[in-house]
Amino acid sequence: MPIPKWKIEGILDDITECGCCGRRGLKRTVAMMPLDADGNEDGTAEDVVYYGTSCAAIALSWTQGKVTDTARAAQAERDQRDNWARQMISIYAPVEFAPVRDKARVYYGRNQHQRDTGVKATEEVAKLLAEARATLADTPPARPARRVSRTSAATS
């Protein structure tokens, strides 16, 4: 079986131009990450391309329906990871530079089962924050925690 050249990362409605054919005014585009010869991601968030569903289907040799379904599933998974990352940042960033006692109180308050296991709260907080920030940094494209409608943005 041939190794695919692309991995579908999600589907977006705020990018409306196809990066393959240049068509504008699309309802949605599919975010696709290039893959290397071994099938591993070959790039970062900046290397993601945005194709219309027709061009994505041609590039992957799939039907448009399969592309759309796969893109929606990938987007739902990405949204779930992003939500987890935002939650970890909202919980642990306020105590990132706090004294060890405060970090331990917050961490063990949420992870009581690890209190007497030798797990160090300061290391775990740093690890969780690093992972959460890396998750959000690798999200194509960078987007706010919630969408702002054009009408509410215009009135503020």
Distance CA 137, CA 43 (A): 13
Whether residue 65 is predicted with pLDDT greater than 50 in this model: the reply is yes
94: tokens are 């306020």
Residue 31 lies in domain: 6-141
pLDDT at 122: 96
Whether residue 145 is predicted with pLDDT greater than 50 in this model: the reply is no
pLDDT at 44: 82
Burial class (CB in 10 A: 0-12, 13-18, 19+), 63: exposed
Instruction: Count how many domains the chain has.
Output: 1
pLDDT at 155: 46
Tens of pLDDT, residues 109-137: 999 999 999 999 999 999 999 999 999 98
In a domain, 135, yes or no: yes
pLDDT at 150: 42
pLDDT at 141: 54
């960078």: which residue's tokens? 142
5: tokens are 């050249």
Burial class (CB in 10 A: 0-12, 13-18, 19+), 109: exposed
């890396």: which residue's tokens? 134
Beta bridge partners of 11: 30
In a domain, 15, yes or no: yes
In a domain, 55, yes or no: yes
Q: What is the pLDDT averaged over residues 7-28?
A: 94
Looking at residue 38, what DSSP letter applies? Answer: T
pLDDT at 140: 58
Distances (CA, A) of 45 to 20, 23, 49, 74: 17, 22, 9, 15
Whether residue 39 is predicted with pLDDT greater than 90 in this model: the reply is no
Tell me which of 156 and 36 has the higher pLDDT: 36
pLDDT at 139: 63
In a domain, 77, yes or no: yes
Q: What is the pLDDT averaged over residues 82-97?
A: 97
In a domain, 148, yes or no: no
In a domain, 155, yes or no: no
